[in-house]
């Protein structure tokens, strides 16, 4: 089994199977009956974010092992201001960061083809996981904003009702 195949297996469709059961667009594209439904949706998003973070951890574990640990390339978690984690490439001396570090590693003439393929697979997974984390964070933020707006509407409605309506 090649390195790329081993990576693909660890971050395969099986790893995503749980996501399919817990998330779908039909959960988003439904009429929310109130802030409770929207809060539940936000909680689901948080659980999905934790699972994506777990897959990010798998990638960090892979990169910490040989032969990847021998390269001038590290995969690190960068914490955003919103509290979301993203995977970033760093040089081993931490002087450089970004996809350019990965591109330089890929351009090494002595890099074994199997290692080059494995690094490609890792980059595909990094981009995918970052996209998923970013999308989930955006949905979560929107859901939380919606809960706040529904709470404000509910409060105003309760205050505006006359005592005879109760």
Q: How many domains does the chain have?
A: 1
Within a domain: residue 159? Answer: no
Within a domain: residue 89? Answer: yes
Within a domain: residue 75? Answer: yes
* Residue ranges making up the domain that contains 75: 3-141
Within a domain: residue 71? Answer: yes
Within a domain: residue 151? Answer: no
Contact present, 128 and 79 (Cβ < 8 Å): no
pTM of the model: 0.82
Mean pLDDT of the chain: 86
Model pLDDT for residues 15-33, shown as the tens digit of each residue = 666 565 555 555 666 667 7
Model pLDDT for residues 112-158, shown as the tens digit of each residue = 999 999 999 999 999 999 999 999 999 999 999 999 999 999 889 88
Model pLDDT for residues 18-71, shown as the tens digit of each residue = 565 555 555 666 667 778 888 988 898 999 999 999 999 999 999 999 999 999
Rounded CA gap, 87 and 69, in Å? 16
Within a domain: residue 20? Answer: yes
Within a domain: residue 50? Answer: yes
Contact present, 105 and 111 (Cβ < 8 Å): yes
């Amino acid at each position: 089994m090649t390195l790329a195949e081993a990576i693909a297996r660890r971050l395969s469709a099986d790893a995503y199977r749980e996501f399919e059961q817990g998330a779908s667009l039909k959960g988003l594209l439904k009429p929310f009956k109130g802030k409770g439904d929207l809060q539940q949706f936000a909680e689901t998003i948080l659980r999905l974010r934790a699972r994506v973070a777990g897959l990010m951890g798998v990638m960090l574990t892979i990169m910490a092992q040989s032969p990847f640990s021998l390269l001038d390339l590290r995969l690190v978690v960068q914490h955003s201001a919103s509290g979301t984690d993203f995977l970033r490439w760093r040089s081993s001396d931490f002087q450089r960061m970004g996809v350019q570090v990965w591109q330089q590693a890929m351009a090494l003439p002595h890099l074994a083809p199997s290692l080059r393929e494995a690094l490609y697979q890792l980059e595909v997974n990094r981009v995918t996981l970052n996209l998923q984390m970013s999308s989930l964070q955006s949905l979560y933020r929107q859901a939380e904003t919606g809960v706040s707006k529904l709470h404000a509407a509910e409060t105003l409605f309760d205050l505006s009702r006359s005592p005879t309506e109760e």
